[in-house]
Structure 1
Amino acid sequence: MKISTKGRYGLTIMMALAKNKGRGPLSLKAIANDHNLSEHYLEQLIAPLRNAGLVNSIRGAYGGYVLSKLPSEITAADVIRVLEGPIQPVEVMEDDDPAKRELWVKIRDAVKDVLQGTTLDDLIHFDSDPQVQDPDMFYI
């Protein structure tokens, strides 16, 4: 499963709001500037997050967005599902070989478990570990 910029930037928005929790609303312009992203693109992403009840909008000169729940109550899976759809790396076909079907289900469940087990709070308090290898490098 490849997470598109919708999911990646959606997590960026949500992490910025999580870091700002308790300090009032945060504008998309501020998030876009801080992360060198397109404000227009972020506007397209915030609507489904708001419709899903993950963020609230505050109107006015000092308006912006706030999380609707605590960062510890919102998972990466919540954000990814809203912006990317169901978490399913491969569509399992009924005519697939049973061994392959089992593999696809295991992969799907592993990805879901990681996303569901990771909250915004976990993401904003993540301490970079120099022992962690580049996530784009895979060794077998």
Structure 2
Amino acid sequence: MKISTKGRYGLTIMIELAKKHGEGPVSLKAIAQANDLSEHYLEQLIAPLRNAGLVKSIRGAYGGYVLANAPAQITSGDIIRVLEGPITPVEGIEDEEPAKRELWIRIRDAVKDVLENTTLEDLANHTDRGESDAYMFYI
């Protein structure tokens, strides 16, 4: 399964709204500028998130978008499913031989587990602890 820009940018929108939760509406223009993204593209992504009941739109001069629920109640899986569809690594799992079917099911379940156990609150409060897999070379 590959997450497209729809899922990635949709998650960005939702994380930005989570960071501002309780402070009032946030405009897509502000989110686009803060993340160097296309405001037009974000407008296309916000509609399915609103239709799914994950965000609410606020009209007016100081309008924008707010989360429909608290950040701790919205999972990354909720967002990815709305924008990307079902979480599955391959199509037609049921037609695979048993050994491969078991592998695809285990992969699907592992991805679902991560997505369902990672909330917007987790993502909004994440800080880089300096833990990196990169190597540092000194010359």
User: Normalization by structure 1: what TM-score?
Assistant: 0.92
SS of equivalent residue, structure 1 residue 94: helix
1:121 has 2:118 as partner: no
Once the two structures are superposed, the pairs formed by residues 1-140 of structure 1 within 5 Å of their partners are 1-133=1-133
Matches of 2:36 and 2:72, distance apart in 1: 26
- The residue type equivalent to 1:26 in the other structure is V
Post-superposition CA distance 1:2-59 (Å, at most 9, x none): 1000000000000000000111000000000000000000000000000000000000
- Long gaps (5+) in structure 2: 135-139
Backbone CA RMSD of aligned residues = 1.1
- Contact persistence 2:93–2:104 (CA under 8 A): no
Post-superposition CA distance 1:71-116 (Å, at most 9, x none): 0000000000000000111124433110000000000000000000
- Contact persistence 1:18–1:67 (CA under 8 A): yes
Q: 1:24 to 1:95 in 2, by over 3 A?
A: closer
SS of equivalent residue, structure 1 residue 15: helix
Return 87-96 or 16-25, whichever deviates more: 87-96
Q: 1:112 to 1:29 in 2, by over 3 A?
A: same
- Long gaps (5+) in structure 1: 135-140
Matches of 1:36 and 1:95, distance apart in 2: 43
